[in-house]
Amino acid sequence: MEKKHIIRLVAMGVVVLALAALLGGFTGGGSLMYHLKNRGDLGPLTREDIAYLNVEAPAATSKDGTVNAQDWAAVYPYITMTMGDNAKNSYVTDYLEEDPYLVNIYEGYGFAKDYGSARGHEYTLADVHKTQRPHPKANCLTCKTPNFAKLVNDQGVGVYSMPFEEVEALMEENISCYTCHANEAGNGGALVVTHSYVNKALGDNVNAIDPATLSCGQCHIEYHFTREDSETMMPYHSVEEMTPEAILAYYDAIDFYDWEQEATGTKMLKAQHPEMETFLQGKHAALLNCADCHMPMEMADDGTVYHSHTLVSPLESETLLQNCATCHGDTDMVKVVRGIQERVTKRETEVGNKLSDFKDALADAVASGSRSETELERLRRLHREAQWYFDYCYVENSEGAHNSELSMRCLDTSEQKIDEAMELLAM
């Protein structure tokens, strides 16, 4: 494996408790009182309650040598079982039906034909197989299965541009143990980056990111496919560059666009799902990792303490809500987050519809031939940017929960660009 990156887990329980004491006051106080009442003297489960195992990896039964979930089941029954429970998250929202303006703004691109919400990790191969969006190359398998990561690690980046069907036939598992642990899960549950582009893009700067965030950040990120060899690649080299402004500048510098829209002639960008970037610019970045809010710690009847590998919304888990309480006290966090999401979603609808009207006005201007090429270029520039900022917020799956300031800033910036362009069009 190229530049294999093994990172040992650090127990954070002490840190969280210290922070709880520090932050006790900011939501009205009483937070420590709250959790002591709830959990007795022990407080919530922490990583210190886990008995980390050091065992040899079982023999791999997969053809490519990845130790799969079934292979690990005897060693880690609860983790394997809870990972399988991601199948329970099977609900899909049709975004195109919910927000009809999307069909217009994505015109000419695959997302205008088929765009449903994500569901659990157990569906990745089935979903990539049946999407109506075109996927000629194998690079679409990057974030779906450990077998693809293994193939790249074994054979190099040439794999990305192989025909989709040919490589799909070799894939055996949905996202699984190897994705986040390589074959090292027996090594105290070590987290390993198996997606080689992460190390390539970030170099030594990977060390600035908590392993339990980076683990998810192998996929829950903005990316593009390189022109040279269609390799999946992150558009930055450090955490500081993980902002919509810096990423836009990165794409501009390499003259990158996802598609040229026919009606407007704009060279468009399609944002993906910048969860890690959005989270890392937010208020929790230095305090928490993805696992803290999406993988509740549980205790089995036999006393085994482990991270549930069913990735849930913290708002739907009593255990995770108790973690919030260690800092937020008895504030109703479900209400706070739903309030943020409502505001963000309302703004998305407003700005999305304005963007759709602007796209129509620009298409008319192009069709009428009444504008100079210089004027059109200026308008297309504003169009590219307005859509980028809108999309960066729209496609981020937390709807503002990870970083409400950033989500709102993106929508405001998008609207400013639209207004500027509409003024030009009115002249």
Sort residue 230 into left (φ over 0), alpha (ψ -120 to 50) or beta. Answer: left
CB of 117 to ligand HEC, least distance (A): 5
Exposed, middle or buried, 373 (CB in 10 Å: 0-12/13-18/19+)?
exposed
- Please name the residue that has the structure tokens 């990057």: 142
Q: Which two tokens stand for residue 419?
A: 């207004």
What gap in Å lies between CA 263 and CA 359, rounded to an integer?
9
CB of 323 to ligand HEC, least distance (A): 5
Instruction: Yes or no: say if 266 and 391 are a contact pair by the CB < 8 Å rule.
Output: no
Q: Assess contact for 174 and 143: CB atoms under 8 A.
A: no
Q: Which residue is nearest to ligand HEC (CB)?
A: 189
C-beta of 70 vs 104, nearer to ligand HEC: 70
Q: At closest approach, how far in Å is the CB of 209 from ligand HEC? A: 9
Give me the residue label for tokens 């993988």. Answer: 295
How far, rounded to the nearest angstrom, does the alpha carbon of residue 405 sit from its chain's CA centroid?
18
* Distance in Å, CB of 413 to ligand HEC, minimum: 17
Residue type, 214: L
Nearest approach, Cβ of 367 to ligand HEC (angstroms)?
38
Nearer to ligand HEC, 125 or 418 (CB): 125
Closest approach of Cβ 345 to ligand HEC, in Å? 11
> Whose structure tokens read 């650090």?
10
Closer of 153 and 179 to ligand HEC (Cβ): 179
Cβ distance to ligand HEC smaller for residue 284 or 378: 284
Q: Which is nearer to ligand HEC, 236 or 358 (CB)?
A: 236
CA angle 105, 352, 417 (to 5 degrees): 90
CA distance linking residue 152 with residue 410, whole number of Å? 35
Nearer to ligand HEC, 107 or 292 (CB): 292
